[in-house]
Amino acid sequence: MRGKRSKAYKKLMGAYHQTFGFREPYQVLLDSEMIKEATKCTMELPPALERTLRGKVKPLITQCSIRHLYALSAAENPSKERFIDIAKSFERRKCNHHELEEPLPEKECFESVAIKNGQNKHRYVIASQDREIRGLFREIPGVPSIIINRSVMILEPMNEASKFKRDGMEREKFLKGIVDVRAADKALRKRKREDEEDGENAESDGVEGGAVKEKKKKKKRGPKGPNPLSVKKSTKKPDGSSKPPKKAAEGDPDGQVKKRRKRKHWKGRDGVGQEAPVEGASSIENAPAMD
């Protein structure tokens, strides 16, 4: 199977999944003409159906279809036994028409089995070579149809009834989504309004438990500062004016530095600076000389 056709079939079955609820294994309802055509083309039906539908399948055949195969003329259909053996390998779909002397036409049998209240209730896939049967199910939404054309199994495009229903369901989902969004927005506004009213009522109550309720400070919104992790740290320059501590005197046991005594200079009568006299020196100098 070509890649382009395979992708198209996969997409088409995905649409049947989402819109009509089809699930694997797909129930494929076969008629007698489909079995004869597949045998003529030497085509194995189960693998071919799985390749076409892109999933597991469950082939079904009605009791009326098998009776039509038994009624074939052996002279005109040399592969009659082969047809019957293939039909017996599939699961039998009871149609409750076996009590009749003659089998119903396959179109009527398929209509009674597959269509309930104008819907494909059991989600059958119809594999038929009969034009009347395919024409019947083209009016029913959600019925995939398979045919064999020139030894190639083909999944027919979605019929108009199915497209109309799919588009209607998509519109409903779209409108429902809009309504849900509006309802959620309305509920959010109502919740905010109730929160504001609760805050105002709490403020009007005044003191509760001996403490005044304080209003929550609103955070100021504005330009934020730089990230502290991305800012380069400032490096401190070494201070050259700092002097090393003075060394302690050698003889001092406490390690303390002794203060040096400063001499004070005073001015004499001549204006020349002289050293300040030592206490007691003036009395010695002024004392009379001893003979």
Tell me how many degrees the CA angle 77-81-82 measures, rounded to the nearest 5: 90
pLDDT digits (tens, 9 = 90+) for 61-97: 999 999 999 999 888 888 899 999 999 999 998 888 8
Question: Does the pLDDT value for residue 156 go beyond 50?
Answer: yes
Burial of 277 (0-12, 13-18, 19+ CB in 10 A): exposed
- 183-196: average pLDDT: 72
User: pLDDT confidence of 19, banded at 50, 70, 90?
Assistant: confident
DSSP structure string for the chain? --HHHHHHHHHHHHHHHHHH---SSEEEEE-HHHHHHHHHTT--HHHHHHHHHTS-EEEEEEHHHHHHHHTS-TTT-TTHHHHHHHHHTSEEE--S-TTSSSPPPHHHHHHHHHEETTEETT-EEEE---HHHHHHHTTSSS--EEEEETTEEEEPPPPHHHHHHHHHHHHHHHHHHHHHHHHHHHHHHHHHHHHHHHHHHHHHT-EETTEEPPPPPPPPPSPPPPPTTTSPPPPPPP-TTPPPPPPPPTT-TT-PPPPPPPPPEEE-TTS-EEEPPPTTHHHHHTSPPP-
Tell me how many degrees the CA angle 157-160-164 measures, rounded to the nearest 5: 120
pLDDT digits (tens, 9 = 90+) for 102-154: 889 999 999 999 988 888 989 999 999 999 999 999 989 999 999 999 899 99
| Residues counted in the chain | 291
- Residue 104 tokens read as 């119903």
- 182-193: average pLDDT: 72
pLDDT number for residue 26? 94
